């Protein structure tokens, strides 16, 4: 516990020092100087600090048999620190950048021990030119799809669940040790990544059911390529924006892949262990445009199609910031405990989201506006007899742009149980309601 407090204290001390020396050239969405200190007159070398906190208040209809503190309950209301992040970006030369980021993730009623302020990112990048930069370290640089690393600004309350579907299995908090190359050639943007996956599983292989292998992991290869028809997007960080709220006009067509040799295994009918490659491919289209800049109205849309091959009948059930501590196996479903639902598996996954900003409440000050949005995720997986349909509808109040916003979201998810033929059918549906507040500092 003391070590954790020392780390937080050190971060606050560094941040305080940076604030005392901040350059007042740029303004953030609060109208304050950004936490950036330029190290030369040309402003090509700098040190900057940023971060954010996301706080959730929610009501969850829990999966059958869910246990909270050993008691079986049907629903729960709780508070959760979804994410706390503190980041430093140091650019000692025009071509070299070092990123250091720490934080907390999913602190909730199920977190019995003192939450750890953990190291998330630590990597260096060298920019040869606009066409190619190369980096190495622990980071979220990944390929496959636009939201695989998570967006900078979510249109809804959180990421679509398929985007980080291997979290906690082959990565830690969506991070891996990796090397990468990325760049922009005109309107074309690319990234290529070679990573060392983590091994966080201990399950033995099962008959005709692929699970992640506990043998020595092979390299994880991934890439993402996109063509930007209108304005180009910043690629200085691994994160793509989920919406620009009318600040840019972007139309980006993307495609990506991920491949890991012998990532999973299963038993055939003779009891022989068969190794399975993880092979994923995705295409997506992102569109974000202002409608009327004077009133602040905008439109945003995103569509994605993904094919995943993890081996026979692989299906992963997972819940974000799961509040349950266990499950009563005698009455449980395939979903397991808490708010878990199928997020990825062998088969096809489709995702669509749309939204936009409504006129400013005060046009003279260009502040305070509503941002309604909705999404649908449809998964057609080999391990499920019925297709998995999850949908969200929400609305955000933007108080200082995306840097201070309050979001309400209602989500409906499927519950799966085995039918008389041993097939996974939808037996019920459950709701989750989230009220999230996010504040950024930069």
Report the chain's mean pLDDT, rounded to a whole number: 91
> In the chain, pLDDT over 70 holds for what percent of residues?
93
The predicted-structure confidence for 317-373, as pLDDT tens digits, reads as follows 999 999 998 999 999 999 999 999 999 999 999 999 999 999 999 877 778 999 999
Q: How far apart are CA 118 and CA 138, in angstroms?
A: 12
- Quote the distance between the C-alpha of residue 158 and its chain's center: 7
**DSSP letter, residue 163:** G
> What tens digit of pLDDT does each residue of 131-190 get?
999 999 999 999 999 999 977 899 999 999 999 888 889 998 899 999 999 999 999 999
Lowest-confidence segment of 20-29, 221-230, 262-271, 337-346 by average pLDDT: 20-29
What number of other Cβ atoms are within 10 A of residue 18's Cβ?
A: 16
Whether 378 contacts 350, CB under 8 Å: yes
For the segment 182-211, what is each residue's pLDDT rounded down to a tens digit? 999 999 999 999 999 988 777 789 999 999
With H, G, I as helix, E, B as strand and everything else as coil, classify residue 320: coil
Confidence of residue 3 (pLDDT cuts 50, 70, 90): low
The pLDDT tens digits for 108-122 are: 877 666 677 899 999
* pLDDT attached to residue 114: 64
Dihedral pair phi/psi, residue 244, rounded to 5°: -105, 0
Pairing status of strand 297-309 against strand 315-318: unpaired
pLDDT grade for 25, boundaries at 50, 70 and 90: low
Strands 66-68 and 71-72: antiparallel
């Amino acid at each position: 516990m003391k070590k954790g407090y020392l780390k937080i204290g050190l971060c606050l001390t560094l941040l305080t020092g940076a604030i005392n020396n901040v350059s007042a050239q740029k303004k953030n969405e609060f109208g304050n100087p950004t936490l950036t200190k330029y190290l030369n007159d040309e402003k090509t070398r700098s040190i900057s600090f940023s971060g954010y906190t996301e706080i959730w208040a929610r009501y969850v209809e829990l999966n059958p048999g869910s246990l909270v503190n050993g008691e079986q309950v049907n629903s729960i209301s709780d508070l959760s620190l979804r994410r706390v992040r503190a980041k430093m970006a140091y650019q000692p030369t025009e071509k070299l950048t070092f990123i250091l980021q720490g934080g907390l993730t999913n602190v909730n009623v199920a977190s019995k021990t003192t939450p750890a302020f953990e190291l998330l990112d630590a990597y260096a990048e060298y920019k040869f030119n606009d066409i190619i930069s190369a980096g190495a370290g622990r980071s979220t640089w990944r390929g496959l799809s636009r939201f695989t690393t998570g967006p900078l600004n979510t249109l809804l309350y959180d990421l679509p669940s398929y985007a980080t579907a291997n979290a906690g299995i082959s990565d830690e908090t969506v991070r891996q040790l990796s090397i990468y190359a990325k760049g922009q050639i005109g309107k074309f943007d690319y990234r290529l990544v070679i990573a060392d996956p983590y091994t966080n599983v201990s399950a033995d292989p099962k008959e005709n059911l692929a699970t992640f292998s506990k043998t020595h992991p092979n390299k994880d290869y991934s890439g993402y390529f996109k063509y930007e028809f209108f304005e180009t997007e910043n690629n200085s960080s691994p994160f793509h924006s989920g919406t620009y709220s009318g600040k840019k006009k972007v139309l980006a067509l993307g495609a990506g892949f991920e491949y890991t040799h012998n990532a999973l295994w299963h038993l055939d009918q003779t009891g022989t262990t068969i190794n399975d490659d993880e092979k994923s491919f995705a295409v997506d289209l992102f569109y974000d445009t202002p409608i009327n800049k004077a009133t602040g109205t905008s439109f945003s849309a995103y569509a994605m199609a993904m094919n995943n091959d993890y081996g026979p009948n692989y299906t992963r059930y997972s819940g974000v910031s799961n509040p349950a501590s266990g499950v009563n196996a005698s009455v449980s479903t395939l979903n397991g405990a808490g708010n878990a639902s199928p997020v990825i598996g062998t088969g096809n996954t489709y995702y669509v989201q749309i939204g936009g900003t409504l006129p400013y409440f005060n046009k003279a000050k260009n502040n305070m506006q509503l941002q309604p949005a909705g999404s649908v995720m449809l998964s057609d997986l080999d391990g499920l007899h019925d297709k998995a349909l999850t949908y969200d509808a929400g609305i955000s109040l933007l108080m200082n742009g995306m840097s201070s916003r309050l979001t309400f979201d209602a989500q409906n998810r499927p519950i799966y149980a085995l039918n008389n033929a041993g097939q996974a059918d939808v037996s019920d549906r459950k709701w989750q309601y989230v009220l999230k507040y996010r504040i950024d500092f930069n």
